[in-house]
Structure 1
Amino acid sequence: MTSDDADLGEELVRLASADNFRDLAGPGYPTADGRRVRRGVLFRSNELTLTHEDAQALAALGVETIFDLRDAHEIEAHPDAPVPGATWRHVEVKGIPMEAVASLQTHEQGLAVMGEVYRGFVEKEGGRAAFGELLHSIAQGRAAQVFHCTAGKDRTGWASVLLLHVAGVAPETILEDYLATNTISSATRVKYLGMVREHLGDDKVEVYETVMVADARYLQQAYDAVVSSYGSMEGYLADGLGLGADTLAALRARLLDHGVE
């Protein structure tokens, strides 16, 4: 990747039509073995309802595949814009309790639903199948790829956690990256909470804020489910997602710089 590519990646973080689009590698996160995660290889995002200019900017990054983790209703409501040169693939993370999210009444219900979402990434077959397919496909990639959901924080956030873990990034850095959504896409969150206030009333703002933020407590519930069901993240990757040693090695080769073998 050239320095121009890196600059473009930084600019894309601030695109109005996909404000949570960013490089999975961050600034080039360091890993336990002294290497860094490569920039310009994998990008994470919220929904890609892009302007023409933003679609062209994505094409300029050389994106070959866009993985959409949303369900059919989300896609129908807000379809991705075509990106020249990129193939769109639907890899639905099943098992998200959308009806429960839509009918929240209390702050406590919101917290409970989000806990169910994150545990489901580990415990529900529909979640495991999607994350397994996504990581298998990324391992086989040859050019830049994008994966995304609606807000780019939960399904996309968990996929990012897995990829950064495979790369050997420190847990505290992974958590910081996960929580960065709250800053990067704050304008979108404020906009939607304003709509909640307008249509549902002030008392529902605190309720729906629970599903609009990245929260360390949610991520911890997924981690706890991993330990409970598989003993470790390595067990979850191998037995839960079906990722063999060759696939994990291919992922690391894609994700890491070549400073140390």
Structure 2
Amino acid sequence: MLGEPSVQRRRFLRGSAGAVLAAGFGGTLLSACGGSLDADQPETPRLASVSNFRDVGGAGSGYLTVDGKQMRRGVFYRANALTLSGKDAATLDKLGVVSVYDLRTPAEIARTADVLPAGATSATLNVLGTNDFVAPPFDTAADAVAFMQAQARAYVTGAPQRAAYGALFGALADGTGAQLFHSTAGKDRAGWVAALLLSIANVPLDVIMQDYLLSNVYLAPSIAAQTATLRAQEGAAIAMARAPLLDVDENYLQAGFNEVQASYGTMASYLTRGLGLSTATVDALRNRLVH
């Protein structure tokens, strides 16, 4: 049975999430969750040109679930925009990705086109339902945090968001071979998808939160570079006010989970009523996710 945010959200281990970020990447997180790093399957490669690329199933032998199962690795990947260098493209080609799902707006795609893995098909699913994503100006960091929380709630309640996410999960359930989904930074729109997949797999919610926060580690050089550019071009005050747009925070994902509870009562109801998924589709996703 799917974990319910109303019950389990108090179990989020705020301290342990910070410890994971301080210690390093997903291997540390997996060790904390009881997984083995001695699996036969090699570690997911790091891609310098697509820094937030990673396996939804985790590292090592995969995340453990609350019902004693384990996430499959090499099935679903998440990423930021596929600005692949030649070297990284060759590395990604070896993973056998057959389908890429681009969650960006048309203007984002026009600015930064994907470099697709060899032989992969591509589909666009405009989660926001707008031509572009442009954040409004903010006077304070608190305003930016509120905006990010509103975005997370809209993933749950917005009509374009629900339609795009429903279509994505249906495609992931029906697909064969490795599949990849991504947004621009791979942390918000793609981060919500990853959190839902881990929820469907029955991964503990504290682990889901820690996995979500790992975007801050993977994107750290990019966040630092964007912050420096903002500070140089707009000044320290504006850079500080816009800082919450560049990373992820526990409160963002929590806002989405809280909205699931407020609008649908349970995660299962959100998946079926909100996203229009059949129980058979949810079961097919779970079967792809765990073993």
Structure 1 and Structure 2 fold alike (TM over 0.5): yes
Distance 1:147 1:248 in 2: 18
Distance 2:233 2:129 in 1: 28
Distance 1:5 1:84 in 2: 21
Distance 1:193 1:95 in 2: 28
Partner residue in 1 for 2:225: 191
The unaligned stretches of length 5 or more in structure 2 are 1-38
Instruction: Tell me if structure 1 keeps the 8 A contact 2:69–2:290.
Output: yes
Distance 1:208 1:16 in 2: 25
Query: What pairs up with 1:149-228 in 2 under 5 angstroms?
Result: 149-228=183-262
Partner residue in 2 for 1:241: 275
Query: What pairs up with 1:42-191 in 2 under 5 angstroms?
Result: 42-94=76-128, 98-99=133-134, 101-191=135-225
**1:105 CA displacement:** 3.0
Distance 1:79 1:5 in 2: 31
The unaligned stretches of length 5 or more in structure 1 are none
Distance 1:91 1:5, change over 3 A: farther
> Percent same amino acid among aligned pairs?
39
Distance 1:75 1:31 in 2: 35
Q: Kindly provide the CA deviation profile for residues 59-111 of structure 1, in whole angstroms up to 9, marking residues without a partner as x.
A: 11000001100001111111111321111110110257833x14233212211
Distance 1:39 1:119 in 2: 29
The one-letter amino acid of 1:6's match is P
**1:34 CA displacement:** 0.8
- 2:162 counterpart SS class: helix
- 1:33 counterpart SS class: coil
Partner residue in 2 for 1:20: 52
The one-letter amino acid of 2:42's match is A
Aligned-CA RMSD value = 1.5
Show structure 1 runs of 4+ deviating over 2 A. 3-7, 95-99, 102-106
Partner residue in 1 for 2:6: none
The one-letter amino acid of 1:174's match is I
Partner residue in 1 for 2:10: none
Instruction: Tell me if structure 1 keeps the 8 A contact 2:82–2:113.
Output: yes
Distance 1:50 1:102, change over 3 A: farther
Distance 2:51 2:250 in 1: 21
The one-letter amino acid of 2:164's match is A
Distance 1:252 1:113 in 2: 32
Partner residue in 1 for 2:42: 6
Distance 2:101 2:276 in 1: 19
How many residues align structurally?
250
